[in-house]
Amino acid sequence: MGVVASITYMILIVLIIPFVFFKYLVSYSSLSNDDDMLLNYKNQYKDYENKQLFPHNKLAEFLSAALCLLSTIILGFFDDLFDIRWRHKFFLPAVASLPLLIVYYVDFSVTSIVVPGFLMRNGVGEFLVIVLNQLSQKANGLLTMLTGLKFTTLAIDYKIESTAPRLLDLGIFYYAYIFNASENVMHPSFAKFEGSRIGTALLEFLAIFKLLEVRRNDKGKIEEFTNLTIINLTLVWLGPLKESTLCIIILAFQFGLGIFMLLLRHTLGPWVFGYDNLSWGVK
């Protein structure tokens, strides 16, 4: 079903292009007069004050984002067909990010994040790798990957200078849970533990603070532990929950965290960045 939704979305993206840039191609007043239309085209690249200059950079960003989405759809489709191993497909999203990286490079590498250019380009590629792979492991579906990539391309193309990408940091946690059909509740998922001295010490330390739950054998040694995800952490702290209740709690947590980060950005942020984009009107 993900392929159907993805292809439908791409068709709509292609069909909307003429409507998005129509005002830069021809004005409504010149549709009935060939002379006016010719004059409009002649002045198109001269009259910058009237905003008739065609925004090639915006068109390039739009097309690169669409090409990035299409590349991911194709790669996800191949993964469904050939069941590509994780060690091979882990870096495939970086390949899909190449159109965005190229446009960013030729667009004078414009960004308000003060970092060396090569680090910024690598960061964009790694950002896509992290987002797409965590979404794939969360829902294991092409539709979810496409949704995540849409938000990622928007962040890279239009909001890379804002604080919005910082709110996606929690996305690096891989979500997993187990549904108990008989009880109609969600239980945390467990992973097998291959005994090691360092690993045992780390799990014991995390278990002290209730960050995970462990299962022990008759000798008291750890055999299993809960996966380190936010969903599992919620289930460990609050116990088995219905899926609807768990969803509400997670959404409320994310909403509260987002509000907290916004407050933090506009209180402590000006000390770090030197200005507040709310009071200064900076976009």
Residue 63: Cβ within 10 Å count: 15
For range 5-23, the mean pLDDT: 84
Lowest mean pLDDT among 62-66, 122-126, 172-176: 172-176
Show the CA angle centred on residue 227, arms to residues 224 and 229, nearest 5°: 160
According to the model, what pLDDT value does residue 59 have? 82
Residue 37 CB partners (closer than 8 Å, separation 6+): 26, 30, 31
Q: Which residue has the higher pLDDT, 184 or 48?
A: 184
What distances in angstroms separate CA 14 from CA 10, 55, 58, 59, one per listed residue? 6, 17, 15, 12
Element (H, E) at 223: strand 222-226
Single-letter amino acid code for the residue at 197: R
According to the model, what pLDDT value does residue 208 have? 92
Handedness of CA 119, 164, 263, 209 (dihedral sign): negative
Nearest Cα neighbor of 124 from 145, 152, 82 is 152
Q: Where are the alpha helices (H) located in the chain, listed in sequence order?
A: 2-20, 22-25, 34-42, 56-82, 86-89, 92-96, 98-106, 117-139, 142-157, 197-208, 230-238, 243-265, 269-273
According to the model, what pLDDT value does residue 205 have? 92
According to the model, what pLDDT value does residue 19 have? 83
Q: Residues 181-219: pLDDT tens digits?
A: 667 787 887 888 877 888 889 999 999 998 889 988 888
Q: Residues 83-137: pLDDT tens digits?
A: 777 777 777 777 777 887 777 777 655 554 455 566 666 666 666 666 655 555 4
Q: Go through 258-269 and write b for each residue having 16 or more CB atoms within 10 A of its CB, e for each that does not.
A: eeebeeebeeeb
SS3 143: helix
Radius of gyration of the chain from its Cα atoms, rounded to whole angstroms: 24
- Please determine, for residue 220, whether its predicted confidence score (pLDDT) is greater than 80: yes
Residue % of the chain over a pLDDT of 70: 58
Q: Residues 230-254: pLDDT tens digits?
A: 778 888 899 888 878 887 888 888 7
What distances in angstroms separate CA 29 from CA 100, 216, 217, one per listed residue? 36, 78, 81
Cβ atoms of 206 and 233 closer than 8 Å: no
- Please determine, for residue 80, whether its predicted confidence score (pLDDT) is greater than 60: yes
- Please determine, for residue 223, whether its predicted confidence score (pLDDT) is greater than 80: yes
What is the C-alpha separation between 130 and 118, in angstroms, rounded?
Answer: 18
| 29 band by pLDDT with thresholds 50, 70 and 90 | very low
Residue % of the chain over a pLDDT of 90: 2
Half-sphere CA count of 247, side-chain side, radius 13 A: 4
Nearest Cα neighbor of 265 from 172, 164, 152, 170 is 164
